[in-house]
A and B are shown apart, each in its own frame.
Chain A
């Protein structure tokens, strides 16, 4: 690596100087040339390496130096000489100062290469540490590692289109779907691609946005908060549904959204449900979300599940008989996180055999255990709790005699789910819900059945609720 070339000051240069058109690189070159003549080779190489002119304004030349020691040295010993050379070249220069500007590769001393401890084969790394602290993007999420199937191809196509022309094709892009289906993976993949194209990207959850917003009010740093998010090229917010019901945050987000949108900056959002189903979301935000591209992700079908498992074992350099993968794909249907969980469990428990043989019987046993002892059994209480949370109402409301429309629908859904998922009898369901008549329950179930047939969005909503039921 050549540190710098010495520059010949010839007639041409002098005439350029006369015209005052000399650039800073050439100007510093003149200084370096002179200093090399005036100091010992050792001193020159030590103190002048990695120095350059940082700025040159109003007769003041700012010299960038790699560290504090160099700064002090140049200040103490060489200021006069450097200034003289500068003034001889450009008489308008009045003063010179030195600033420390550490660049990425400025390690002045030659490091004695220590015995580089190469990690052992198979040594795992802290994965989350790969997360970029400014963008919050994890490089492990990419389009290459995202398995496509009919359940997510629309969302993926929309995502790729956004990468192609951010801010112009689908703005905002709103992706929704149940838990553990790959929404975050897709969002972060978009982020990583755009980051690699040198876009200013940030990925956060709406909870983080809310917390930072509140903190900025408390610390009186509202302006820097605004600056931070309104100057991005790409804003990605995960779990946007949590912004519902928070007036001030929604207000702030509304303004952030508009600023970005008006400047053709890309906004990507995701949620566990479509905008229509986010209850306490302000109308003006809802209409903006719906004004962009909406894409849903459904639970993966069998082929996709199998493909996902095959991809994962390939990534981790594990060999497993396809019949075992098929068994897992057949048995675990709800979401990808569970799929991965089952895979991990089988792999790690097989380590108790030194040769890491993953046998069919062992895998079958693990899966049977998983399916028969769900971590949280779905009980009638669980259904009431999940539905209540989804619609942001209190559980008691569902039990009481309240006839408000916002309560009636959730209550009917609870009845429907208890019938469909728990196979309870109509009278039993009536009992669970505050002593209601069994005919009321029958009526509710019919109504919901019919609505599922007629309303695709409603069917989606119900699927998300079912998903949440089984995943939490």
Chain B
């Protein structure tokens, strides 16, 4: 294996495969990067046995022989980043990887690549392709709402649901829920409904972030494959699915609302951030709808209290309901999480007897539901 690459590309590649590195596995090989070179292609991959990342770049290799090794990513990344000239020469020399340029040389200890599992592409021809920018935006809008409780593993991942007419991404932890719909016609034999681990979602966000191409999704047995081009790099992310049935969450989307109104998003975010100063213990803020305003308040016996209001435009209000004013206690972090997922300047807020409903006022392919906090009367 003998080739030359621009140092930025090497750094970028190491960054792209990093999400699948395994920190504490019974197999120390999995904390290393697998590099294979020969026949004008360099392949780099990492895996933690839940998710694998495989990148390949067409590069002029100075010999055709296919050779591979495992190298510590931190060491390689360190050596390459401090090189002064733009191009580095990389060569396998026995059990070391030589990285050099003029007046700069390092021989990095490597491990035998024998123990590293081969990662291969999906055999299936049935795939669904989405423009990367669309897919990644969607992933970023749902990634903060998963659960971290292992007692319900189905909720620790993201539901990926592909039908002939759309692609829906859903995450929830039982207290709040994010759902994004990508309206795109797809030609598939069978509906795809799989739970993808959070780690995989984070890996996808890293791997495909600069892609200007499509990401193509395939499922096979108990794995999902995501393939696409990022510049000259051909990237593949393979992931296990989480076994379990995702709850039928469509039932919880409220259809009946006490009041619906529009409010400026960034102003609301600022008000909530201010209110949160006095919620460091309770993490709670209170919202009240009074006439045509939304009042945000919080208080803490130690630090003090806070009160602010924002003008709102009421769209709909239920007749004869609760004329004393609508009031809710909320976990402010959950509110901020939801608001950060919406891009519109103005948001629609709908208050129901159950969850609070948030959505952009003009782009309505994303919704966020949040359950309030019941006041404790002890």
Contact = CB atoms under 8 A, between A and B. Distances in A.
A46 B376 contact: no
Nearest to B245: A133
B248 interface: yes
Nearest to A45: B26
B329 interface: yes
Interface string A344-368: 1100110110101000000000000
A284 interface: no
B124 interface: no
Interface string B245-278: 1111101100000000000000000000000000
Nearest to B371: A124
Interface string A89-105: 00000000000101110
B28 interface: yes
Given A67-B50, A109-B25, A126-B177, 13 more contacts: A42-B26, A68-B223, A102-B243, A110-B24, A121-B376, A123-B371, A123-B374, A124-B373, A125-B371, A129-B248, A344-B353, A352-B288, A352-B324
Contacts of B25: 46, 109-110
B175 A123 contact: yes
A117 B148 CA distance: 7
Interface in A324-360: 344-345, 348-349, 351-352, 354, 356
Nearest to A319: B377
Contacts of A352: 288, 324-325, 327
A220 interface: no
Nearest to B225: A68
B331 A318 contact: no
15 contacts: A42-B28, A72-B120, A109-B22, A109-B48, A109-B49, A110-B25, A120-B283, A121-B373, A122-B329, A123-B374, A126-B252, A131-B251, A133-B246, A318-B377, A345-B322
A100 B284 contact: no
B47 A356 contact: no
A126 B248 CA distance: 11
B184 to A, nearest CB: 24
Given A102-B222, A120-B331, A124-B372, A73 B117 contact: yes
A126 B331 contact: no
B58 interface: no
A317 interface: yes
B149 interface: yes
A134 interface: yes
A373 interface: yes
B343 interface: no
| Chain B, interface residues (CB within 8 Å), range | 35 or more
A65 to B, nearest CB: 10
B15 interface: no
A41 to B, nearest CB: 8
B193 to A, nearest CB: 11
Contact of B174 (A67, A129, A349): A129
B371 A116 contact: no
B49 A108 contact: yes
Given A104-B243, A133-B248, A125 B288 contact: no
A110 B199 CA distance: 13
Interface residues of A, number: 58
Contact of A68 (B48, B222, B248, B354): B222
Nearest to B283: A120
Given A107-B153, A351-B327, A129 B373 contact: no
Interface string A373-399: 101000000000000000000000000
A134 B245 contact: yes
Q: Which of A116, A121, A122 has the most CB of B within 10 A?
A: A122
4 cross-chain pairs, A with B, having the tightest CB-CB distances, nearest first: A128-B251, A124-B371, A102-B243, A45-B26
B375 interface: yes
Contacts of B24: 110, 112
A69 interface: yes
B219 to A, nearest CB: 11
A129 B376 contact: no
A317 to B, nearest CB: 7
B175 A68 contact: no
Nearest to B120: A72
B355 interface: yes
B375 A124 contact: no
Interface in B325-372: 325, 327-329, 331, 353-355, 369, 371-372
A69 B51 CA distance: 9
A88 interface: no
Contact of B23 (A67, A112, A134): A112
